[in-house]
Amino acid sequence: MLRTLARGVALAVAGGLAGHASLTPAHASGLQPAPRPSWDLRGRTAVVTGGSKGLGRAIVEELLAQGCDVLTCARDTSPLDALLQEQPASLCAVCADVSTSEGRQALLAAMRERWGEEAALDILVNNVGTNLRKPSVEYTDEEYEMLHATNQASAFHLSRACFDALRRGERKGCVINVSSVSGSTVDNTGAVYHMTKAALEHMTRYLAVEWGPEGVRVNAVAPWFINTPLTAPLLSDEHFHGAVRRATPMRRVGEPHEVACVVAFLAMPAAGYVTGQVVGIDGAMPSEGFRYVKAGGE
């Protein structure tokens, strides 16, 4: 009796599956599976600051590859000329220094020109950043202010300026801040850089809570040493590079695309319940940080 019932159920299920072509494996029919909506960024709008080189360039390229319409800015956009010629319909670049109020206003004006006064914004990536590495007592007041204006204040002011666009429309937007392991560890990077990244990470958590009821998500990524123009002067020293590799469990520095892919994921609907997080991209960098001492204690 049970065997007969089980056989009947199996036949019914098999018959039902045969009647639904959508359940047939794509490779069996010769068709490619359609992108799942949760993992799809096609048609999304994105603003990326500092997109001409390094991490910003990799993020711009990844978002373009995912089908986004991207607006980026830099003080010098000439490194993007070839990419602009390749994808003129999907990429726009504006010369703007977002560490200044004037630069932010220029970027906001470019947003309005490209997408309209009342358009929604899907993705804001606050990537722009810089550093001066020196002992704390040697920073000038001007250098201190410049690092804060570039690394932290620009992200705060631009996020606020984009808030209405981020919450506008049915699909709410998200903010992704590019921080650093220096926001939570101690290394040779300089006190002021550490301070700006720590502030950026706490701002990420605060805005996630404040803007959560509006549906706007705010996250950050925190890379360790990545092969970029900013780290090139340090990593060109083989002794220093070796010390970084030995301190990193994965025994290598990261690549820009490895950061860009995490940024893209955080922007996707698949990450729709992820907010207020600082995602380490660090090869399992130890939480106690990294302190490089040259041979002889220099």
How confident is the model over 133-187, as pLDDT tens digits?
999 999 999 999 999 999 999 999 999 999 999 999 889 999 999 999 999 998 8
- The three-state secondary structure class of 48 is strand
Structural domains for the chain = 37-285 (3.40.50.720)
Angle at 133 between CA 130 and CA 138, to 5 degrees: 120
List pLDDT tens digits, range 231-260: 999 999 999 999 999 999 999 999 999 999
Instruction: Provide the whole-model pTM.
Output: 0.87
292 a catalytic residue: no
Residue 6 scores a pLDDT above 70: no
Residues 248 and 219 sit within 8 Å (Cβ to Cβ): no
Residue whose tokens read 């220029």: 106
Number of other residues whose CB lies within 10 A of the CB of residue 259: 25
Residue 285 pLDDT grade (very low, low, confident, very high; cuts 50, 70, 90) = confident
pLDDT of residue 32: 66
C-alpha distances in angstroms, 148 versus 98, 198, 224?
A: 12, 11, 20
CB of 201 closer than 8 Å to CB of 258: no
DSSP-derived letter for residue 248 is S
Query: Active site residue: 139, 144, 193, 292, which one?
Result: 193
Beta-sheet strands, E only, within 144-277: 174-178, 217-223
> What secondary structure letter does DSSP report for 279?
E
